[in-house]
A = this chain, B = another copy of it.
Amino acid sequence: LSKIEGVGVGTAAAGIRYRDRDDLVLFALPAEATTSAVFTRNAFCAAPVVVAREHLRQALPRFLLVNAGNANAGTGTAGMEAAQRTCALIAETGGCRFEQVLPFSTGVIGMALPVEKIAAKVPELMASLAEDGWMRAARAIMTTDTVMKGVSRQVHIAGSIITVTGIAKGSGMIRPDMATMLAYVATDVSVARATLDSCLQKAVAESFNCITVDGDTSTNDACVLMASGASGCVIDSAEKEAVFQQVLNDVCRYLAQAIIRDGEGATKFISIIVEQARDLEEAREVAFTVAHSPLVKTALFASDPNWGRILAAVGRAPIDKLDIHGVNLFLDEVCVIRGGEPAAEYSEEKGQAVLSREEITIRISLQRGEFSATVWTTDFSYDYVRINADYRS
């Protein structure tokens, strides 16, 4: 993973839940850096989410502290105090204001955060700050992940080479409680906060919000974008912003798809494309209804071209007056339904050939508008139940 000039990355092992591995990450930013973030919309958001959201409103962040193994969620007022205490520790050692530290946590819900274990490691964490710490950080934030997830991209903008590096954790729709999605993306461009917010929102809408982690809904989900400005490249025109947006979209889409591919128990990577919808909301509703259907997901696991389950999911999507005579359904290149009727050329053999693949695209056209949406998901295997029933027991 490429360094981002100006951004320090440190790690340490506090033994919060895991032994013999790092579980703390610290990001350090220069004073002139700008930072944007999106957080879970779950009403039961974790204490660190409440604190980070508030601090980001009040000040320019200098440090981001992440711990794995404990989510500090469902912990009430004691949890709020614990999150604030970790910020105070970093601020004291790092020489900044309390509000300039953003806390993040991922792990089990409902257990007290062991602040003293973290406190004991703050000096080591500070000392480990280095521009080449990204790989260590990508490993340190993992919980149920089976592989680390990181990516870098470089692009020319108006004569400068700029870099975007991102890391993420989370393993698909499996265990959203343990597998909160966290993503940290940094770049060396200089960009105003409002522009940064807009770019991050667009990138998230086309990446993390297109995977079925139950619809942005863990208690701790967060995605942060940091811009150090160290490259000297200033995003101050629509043209430059467009190039930056594209590389940012690439990085976020890569990380989002990596989360889906790492879904424990997942045996297939499924893209669901809904086309020719009346509006974006309608396209997304249909795509997510299909993506969340346990019946569709178990059929995909069984490599069974049981298209009746896909149609039934489309038919119950919460959209306005669907005309089934406009619906086309394709499994990869094979047309199954055309104008709401079984396609004459379809055969069980053709459907079976597609379903046997490891990457499958389900394409649904509503033929009543110009909007489309894509959602990425996985199948639903025995391991899903095993993992989620055995966890904690």
Contacts and interface: CB of A to CB of B under 8 A. Distances in A.
A214 B43 contact: no
A258 interface: no
A221 to B, nearest CB: 11
Interface stretch (A155-163, A228-236, A294-302): A294-302
B315 A42 contact: yes
A309 interface: yes
A105 B77 CA distance: 56
Interface in A24-73: 41-45, 71, 73
Contacts of A315: 42-45, 217, 219
Interface string A64-93: 000000010111110000000000000000
A388 B301 CA distance: 10
Nearest to A305: B392
Nearest to A322: B43
Give the oligomeric copy count.
2
B176 A384 contact: no
Nearest to A383: B385
Contacts of A12: none
B44 A389 contact: no
Contacts of A390: 302
Nearest to A302: B389
Interface string A224-267: 00000000000000000000000000000000000000000000
Summarize A's interface: helix, strand, loop or mixed: loop
A320 B22 CA distance: 40
Contact of A43 (B217, B298, B314, B386): B314
Interface string A315-328: 11000001110000
Contact of A342 (B74, B308, B388): B74
Q: Give the most central of A71, A176, A215, A390: most B CB within 10 Å.
A: A176
Contact of A312 (B42, B301, B309): B42
Interface of A: 41-45, 71, 73-77, 108-110, 173, 175-177, 214-219, 293-295, 298-299, 301-304, 306-309, 311-312, 314-316, 322-324, 337, 340-342, 380-382, 384-386, 388-393
Given A176-B295, A177-B308, A302-B391, 20 more contacts: A41-B316, A42-B315, A43-B314, A43-B315, A43-B316, A44-B314, A44-B324, A44-B340, A45-B315, A74-B307, A76-B340, A110-B307, A110-B308, A173-B294, A217-B316, A219-B315, A298-B385, A299-B389, A302-B389, A381-B389
